């Protein structure tokens, strides 16, 4: 059975969809999973602990301050003694608590304390799902590495309203659980990856620097996508304003030379994806003091010197990763320049994109890329950067297989 030996901590919060959680317990157990239930106080207004206990054939946890439960298992062990924490239904209230780190009952405390993957199946009125605070909380939860399934569109159980808010069906939730726990869905398990992302800042003096328009969005999304496929990912990021991705070890650097040092320090690795827009030049002799303007005099010329090429170094390194992927940021002749970079840098694959101002790629959320390798060129459609990342991670897994 596909979920044999897997332990699911099922948190049931208080919504009418809780009646579906009874079926969910059965479906999970049918596939071999062990289900340990926690109910919030509100959940007990909709279904009884007796029913939940009978179906899961075990103890139902409900009280943070239960002396017996605390002596027996304890909330910290409860949070970690499982392979996955599933919240179904997840109410708007519980989601708000998780997004803000509140811990005022057993369910929210366990969710704050857990280091296991968390899957939420939201269920609420469509207006509550669409409300601005819920939108913000959903973004925060996703940013924290929490997975959501649903809600789905359809009729609401409690009213004549229709819209997005229905809890996903038990079998859909079971599929999502399998997707998260099945090692077959983690083709990069046991592999290590280094990803560079963002720009570099090259100091002119203590207050000024040379930079470029890279936001880090594409590189960070690739790091997160590789991690979702099971890779152990180190992200070496230049200065960016976006958060560190969940499930990834992030190293922050400023200059190209620091980035190169961090990358080589993390070799060997199975995969290298060099997405950073590394500054090609740095100031030859950056000043230790702020450069002052001299009234009436022309500014001192800025002498530049070439930065190390990180991708080229990795592509020709004695500890060269099995798969080296580079990017090519071009404003013209995308294909020809991409092919030339493939050879020059010793890469297995170049992801070429048009970064001319009209494309809106630099700093934007979408990207249109061409994948260039010895096998030829594959043109991908215009996609969200997250989707480019997803597809690239899958392609990397396939190449390594």
Applying CB under 6 A, the residues found at the interface with ligand CTP are 196, 256, 274-276, 278, 280, 307, 309-311, 326-329, 341, 345
Nearest distance, CB of residue 255 and ligand CTP, angstroms: 11
Nearest distance, CB of residue 147 and ligand CTP, angstroms: 30
Nearest distance, CB of residue 199 and ligand CTP, angstroms: 10
Q: Which residues are catalytic?
A: 212
Nearest distance, CB of residue 310 and ligand CTP, angstroms: 3
* Residue with Cβ nearer ligand CTP (37 or 216): 216
Extract the tokens encoding 397.
């897994």
Nearest distance, CB of residue 67 and ligand CTP, angstroms: 57
* Residue with Cβ nearer ligand CTP (221 or 310): 310
* Residue with Cβ nearer ligand CTP (43 or 194): 194
* Residue with Cβ nearer ligand CTP (44 or 337): 337
- Secondary structure of 162-226 as H, E, C letters: EEEEECCCHHHHHHHHHHHHCHHHCCCCCCEEEEEECECCEEEECCEEECCCCCCHHHHHHHHHH
Nearest distance, CB of residue 195 and ligand CTP, angstroms: 10
* Residue with Cβ nearer ligand CTP (141 or 311): 311
Nearest distance, CB of residue 89 and ligand CTP, angstroms: 44
* Residue with Cβ nearer ligand CTP (93 or 264): 264
Cα dist. 163→15, 130, 133, 157, 378 in Å?
16, 10, 18, 11, 39
* Residue with Cβ nearer ligand CTP (17 or 362): 362
């Amino acid at each position: 059975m596909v979920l044999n030996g897997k332990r699911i901590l099922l948190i049931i919060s208080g919504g009418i969809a809780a009646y579906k959680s009874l079926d969910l317990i059965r479906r999970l157990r049918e596939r071999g999973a062990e289900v340990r239930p926690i109910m919030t106080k509100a959940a007990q207004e909709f279904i009884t602990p007796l029913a939940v206990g009978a179906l899961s054939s075990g103890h139902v946890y409900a009280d943070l301050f239960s002396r017996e439960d605390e002596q027996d298992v304890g909330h910290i062990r409860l949070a970690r003694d499982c392979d996955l924490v599933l919240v179904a239904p997840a109410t708007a209230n519980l989601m708000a608590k998780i997004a803000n780190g509140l811990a005022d009952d057993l369910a929210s405390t366990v969710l704050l304390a857990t280091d296991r993957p968390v899957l939420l199946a939201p269920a609420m009125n469509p207006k509550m799902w669409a409300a601005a605070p819920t939108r913000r909380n959903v973004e925060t939860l996703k940013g924290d590495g929490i997975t959501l399934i649903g809600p789905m569109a359809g009729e609401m159980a409690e009213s004549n309203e229709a819209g997005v808010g229905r809890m996903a069906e038990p079998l859909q939730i079971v599929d999502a659980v399998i997707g998260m726990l099945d090692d077959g869905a983690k083709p990069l398990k046991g592999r290590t990856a280094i990803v560079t992302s963002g720009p570099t800042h090259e100091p002119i003096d203590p207050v000024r620097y040379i930079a470029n328009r890279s936001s880090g969005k594409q590189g960070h999304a690739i790091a997160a996508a590789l991690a979702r496929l099971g890779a152990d990912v180190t992200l070496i990021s230049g200065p960016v304003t976006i958060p560190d991705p969940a499930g990834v070890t992030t190293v922050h650097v400023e200059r190209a030379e620091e980035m190169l040092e961090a990358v080589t320090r993390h070799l060997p690795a199975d995969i290298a994806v060099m997405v950073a827009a590394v500054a090609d030049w740095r100031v030859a002799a950056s000043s230790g003091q702020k450069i002052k303007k001299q009234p009436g005099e022309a500014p001192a010329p800025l002498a530049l010197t070439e930065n190390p090429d990180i991708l080229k170094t990795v592509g020709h390194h004695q500890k060269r990763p099995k798969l080296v992927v580079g990017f090519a940021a071009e404003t013209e002749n995308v294909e020809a320049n991409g092919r030339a970079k493939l050879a020059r840098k010793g890469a297995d694959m170049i992801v070429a994109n048009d970064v001319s101002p009209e494309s809106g790629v630099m700093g934007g959320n979408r990207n249109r890329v061409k994948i260039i390798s010895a096998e030829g060129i594959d043109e991908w459609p215009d996609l969200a950067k997250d989707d480019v990342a997803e597809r690239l991670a899958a392609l990397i897994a396939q190449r390594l297989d």
